[in-house]
Amino acid sequence: MSVLVYTESLKGKFKKNAFEVASYAHKVAQDLGTTVTAVSFNAEDDASLGTYGISKVLKVSDDSLTTFNAKAYADVLAQAVKGEDAKVIILSSSVDSKFLAPILTAKLTAGYVPNVVAAPESTSPFIVKRTAFSNKGFAMTEISSDIKVIGVSSNAFGVVENNVSASVEEYSPSLNDDAFAVKSVEVDRVVGKATIADADIVVSGGRGLKGPENWGMVEELADVLGAATACSKPVSDMGWRPHSEHVGQTGKPVASNLYIAIGISGAIQHLAGINASKVKVVINNDPEAPFFKAADYGIVGDAFEVVPELIEKLKEFKAQNA
Amino acid sequence: MKILVCISNVPDTTSKINFTEGDTQFDTNGVQFVINPNDEFGLTRAMWFKEKQGATVHVVNVGGVQTEPTIRKALAIGADEAIRVNAEPKDGFFVAQQLAKVVKKGEYDLIIAGRESIDYNGGMVPGILATLLDMNFVNTCIGLEIDGDTATAVREIDGGKEKISTSLPLVIGGQKGLVEESDLRIPNMRGIMMARKKALNVIEPVDATQPTQDQKFVKPAAKGPVKLVDAGNVGELVELLHNEAKVI
């Protein structure tokens, strides 16, 4: 038996979450007294996974799998699970992993727990801690099936180095046309900009910014920090910013290391969506804004004065620490 | 076209979350229940297919009798018929197996569910359901057009969106974007009156596996008070984020 991980990559480069799931899998494998096998798709630097505790990489090189396809990828992983006699499968909580995991789960008649925030509390019985109620609580969930699928939250377990030497084997699973019945026609992805899912830092603006024309300073602040930009629900509902930036209970979830909220009052639905972030900063001119109760650091003040000043100070800081 | 919309009965988004019975159960005391928001976007899109393309729309919920007010609301919004599978929704795999039985019996072409429920956040029911039935599946769906047996969908991806081409029968994990917030419908009096006369068929569950079980719930640790920085001394925030929080 072994532990199997799906290591995500984009254009040949592993994503940060690939190293996170590898690190998590190494911990689980240690607890179970076994090793970790990774499955990679058209990735370039497979041997680098050894840094994070992967002993064996099943390297899939297939032009038909260049673009993510949930069903085809799940087919490949299911074959690898059988071939490796894997009992625990670890994925991330990215949009792609959450698309693929339920398909894999059904194929393997496995138990699947997403949004897992810590190493298993015990492996017999197998119990993991996950978020529930949109980050308003946690559940300790037991998985009792023979095969177990775990989706690890981003920025929760983190990236941990465990140097082993990774053997890389070419892996050619068999796929039939059925696997491609859901076809990607066109991918429209913002390039050269951090995404909310991957970013360590997210800078978010709310109604307090008064209008879309004032977003320049939000973007500049994000630029200085290498952060992704986001917004509150009213801002996306009014069309000031695209829906893809809406974070909160019905928008995208945020689990960044640092979340900076500018002109966002902090409605309970917004806080639920961003609560998994480690450090929260609020800038708001209303000292009674509920966000101040949820934040770690706060500035009561006019965003139009505070934010440009913050950008200047951060530039100075970067210059000194470059 | 025959559409089945799967709805979850969840605490209103503003609910305070508490646990009871030694932290093993969600405390429903004083909680207002609603149609899961992700499902409501899907239901509204289904109403569009009903009005523009003559589709029939059924709704289904797996739950006890206490979920019927939420099911009636879906009927008041305009669904034609409802089905309630009379079982506690123990876990995602269990619920998907119940729904698979309903879909097979009703011969639906399109099944619209939410990408996840806002209570247990499992996000697995539509994908497991599609796989059990060998149907096509698109998750985090933010746009859907049907023309005959052909479906064109838009899916949200990390950092953008993806256009997808597929065919019926199809299962959708939907969310905001399928329709806009402003398109959501509040049931009017006529809808509410009509909903009372519509069929709400209660069926008993099938035997099903339940591979996961929530053993205990924990509330997030109480947070310390916010550390306030003077608006005239923004540099201090940079210093705190670097030296104390260590995030920059």
If you write DSSP's letter for every residue of B8-58 in order, what string do you get? -EEE-TTPPP-EETTTTEE--TTPPEEE-HHHHHHHHHHHHHHHHH--EEE
Residue A248 and residue A130 share a domain:
no
Domain end (from A129, A150, A180): A180
pLDDT value of position B96:
98
Residue A309 and residue A176 share a domain:
no
Give the one of B158, B163, B226 whose C-beta lies nearest to A295's C-beta.
B226
Residue A46 and residue A109 share a domain:
yes
Q: What is the mean pLDDT of residues B204-225?
A: 95
pLDDT value of position A190:
82
Band of the pLDDT at A285, cuts 50, 70, 90? very high
> What are the chain B neighbours of A244 within 8 Å (beta carbons)?
156, 160-161
Cβ-defined contact of A133 to B11 (cutoff 8 Å): yes
Does A208 fall in a domain? yes
Residue A155 and residue A7 share a domain:
yes
Q: Domain range holding A96?
A: 2-180
Is residue A19 within 8 Å of A48, Cβ to Cβ?
no
Q: Which ipTM score applies to this complex? A: 0.96
Interatomic CA distance for residues B47 and B50, integer angstroms = 5
Band of the pLDDT at A198, cuts 50, 70, 90? confident
Which stretch of DSSP H or E encloses residue A303? helix A303-321
Is residue A88 within 8 Å of A3, Cβ to Cβ?
yes
> What percent of chain A has pLDDT above 70?
100
- Which residue of chain B is at minimal alpha-carbon distance from A239? B180
Residue A134 and residue A10 share a domain:
yes
Q: What is the mean pLDDT of residues B203-209?
A: 97
Cβ-defined contact of A129 to B218 (cutoff 8 Å): yes
| Residue A321 confidence (pLDDT) above 90 | no
Residue A152 and residue A207 share a domain:
no
Give the one of B131, B164, B241 whose C-beta lies nearest to A107's C-beta.
B131
Residue A251 and residue A118 share a domain:
no
Band of the pLDDT at B222, cuts 50, 70, 90? confident
Give chain B's domains with CATH numbers: 2-219 (3.40.50.620)
Lookup result for tokens 């950008």 = A311
Q: What is the mean pLDDT of residues B65-82?
A: 98
Does A127 fall in a domain? yes
Cβ-defined contact of B220 to A138 (cutoff 8 Å): yes
Domain end (from A180, A212, A229): A180
pLDDT value of position A208:
97
Question: By C-alpha distance, which of A206, A87, A61, A77 is closest to A144?
Answer: A87
> What are the chain A neighbours of B158 within 8 Å (beta carbons)?
94-96, 195-198
CA distance A148 to chain B (A): 9
pLDDT value of position A194:
85
Give the one of B11, B132, B234 whose C-beta lies nearest to A313's C-beta.
B234
| Residue A118 confidence (pLDDT) above 80 | yes
| Residue B144 confidence (pLDDT) above 90 | yes
Cβ-defined contact of B160 to A188 (cutoff 8 Å): yes
Q: pLDDT tens digits, residue range B147-165?
A: 999 999 999 998 899 999 9
Band of the pLDDT at A319, cuts 50, 70, 90? very high
Q: What is the mean pLDDT of chain A?
A: 96
Six-digit token string for A166: 């990774």
Q: What is the mean pLDDT of residues A241-255?
A: 91
Residue A170 and residue A115 share a domain:
yes
Whichever domain contains A312, its CATH number is 3.40.50.1220
**φ, ψ at A204 (rounded to 5°):** -130, 140
pLDDT value of position A220:
97
Interatomic CA distance for residues A93 and A211, integer angstroms = 33
Lookup result for tokens 């370039």 = A44
Number of structural domains, chain A?
2
Residue A96 and residue A153 share a domain:
yes
pLDDT value of position A114:
98
pLDDT value of position B244:
95
Does A189 fall in a domain? no
Domain end (from A123, A146, A180): A180
pLDDT value of position B100:
98
Cβ-defined contact of B167 to A181 (cutoff 8 Å): yes
| Residue A243 confidence (pLDDT) above 90 | no
> What percent of chain B has pLDDT above 90?
96
Residue A306 and residue A207 share a domain:
yes
| Residue A322 confidence (pLDDT) above 80 | no
Give the one of B17, B152, B161 whose C-beta lies nearest to A133's C-beta.
B17
Q: What is the mean pLDDT of residues B29-48?
A: 97
Cβ neighbours of residue B217 closer than 8 Å, sequence gap 6 or more:
A132, A137, A138, A139, A140, B19, B23, B24, B25, B26
Does A304 fall in a domain? yes
Does A194 fall in a domain? no
Whichever domain contains A135, its CATH number is 3.40.50.620
Q: What is the mean pLDDT of residues A303-309?
A: 98
Band of the pLDDT at A191, cuts 50, 70, 90? confident
Q: What is the mean pLDDT of residues A135-158?
A: 96
Residue A133 and residue A225 share a domain:
no
Q: What is the mean pLDDT of residues B39-65?
A: 98
Does A190 fall in a domain? no
CA distance A268 to chain B (A): 6
Does A54 fall in a domain? yes
| Residue A192 confidence (pLDDT) above 80 | no
Which stretch of DSSP H or E encloses residue B65? none
Does A223 fall in a domain? yes
Residue A102 and residue A239 share a domain:
no
> What percent of chain B has pLDDT above 70?
100
